[in-house]
A and B are shown apart, each in its own frame.
Chain A
Amino acid sequence: KQEVTQIPAALSVPEGENLVLNCSFTDSAIYNLQWFRQDPGKGLTSLLLIQSSQREQTSGRLNASLDKSSGRSTLYIAASQPGDSATYLCAVNFGNEKLTFGTGTRLTIIP
């Protein structure tokens, strides 16, 4: 079964620190992986999309990496800010019109 796991479920980090969020998936034959941000009671905002042929993608203070062989992706956030507090979701496309989501990591940045 194709599954996506995000550990830990929650993470608290002091403001200014760099941090890494983890995503693992059970099948290495993926088409792409997408990271989203979700604020409480809100929708999902797309952060980064990594295609299977890519190793990483960057947007501002965010950097996402992809290692298909080990079934892992990481989202690196540099110089964290209180405004980064949100739930971060990882979603994998295994080759059909469906994204398989992890249950997310709830990030709290402590001022």
Chain B
Amino acid sequence: NAGVTQTPKFRVLKTGQSMTLLCAQDMNHEYMYWYRQDPGMGLRLIHYSVGEGTTAKGEVPDGYNVSRLKKQNFLLGLESAAPSQTSVYFCASSGSGGLVNTEAFFGQGTRLTVV
């Protein structure tokens, strides 16, 4: 059972380039999330989804877009990367009822550097 899988694990981008981070979960979870982790700031929620075809803004959504075309996948896009988006990105998922009821399961992270 793979759980939550993120692709790629590492990436270096030039300012202004675009990219998409892929998150896949095999637990049949309804809820999926994208967080970023920066030194001294803890993890912060970027966007989330409560089911296939839905998305919602989190705490720090600016500069990012997301899509949830399939229940098992949640994509995070950067249209025009900026150095401030250098971070470690984590995807997570949770089951029935979302975070008020169940625990979150996290992927291994994507380390993104924008130069």
Q: Which of B59, B98, B100, B111 has the most CB of A within 10 A?
A: B100
Interface pair B33/A97, CB less than 8 Å apart: yes
Residues of A within 8 A of B100 (CB): 31-32, 93, 95-96
Q: Which residues of A contact B108 (CB under 8 A)?
A: 42-43
Q: Which residues of chain B are within 8 angstroms of A95 by Cβ–Cβ distance?
A: 100
B39 nearest CB neighbor, chain A only:
A103
Which chain A residue lies CB-closest to B88? A41
Q: How far is the CB of A45 from chain B (nearest CB, A)?
A: 8
Q: How large is the interface on A (under 10, 10 to 19, 20 to 34, 35 or more residues)?
A: 20 to 34
- 8 Å CB contact of A43 from B50, B102, B109: B109
Query: Which residues does B use to contact A, with CB under 8 Å?
Result: 4, 31, 33, 40-45, 48, 50, 56, 58-59, 90, 92, 98-100, 102-109, 111
15 contacts between A and B (CB under 8 A): A42-B108, A42-B109, A43-B107, A46-B103, A46-B105, A97-B31, A97-B48, A97-B50, A97-B98, A98-B45, A98-B48, A99-B45, A99-B104, A100-B42, A103-B42
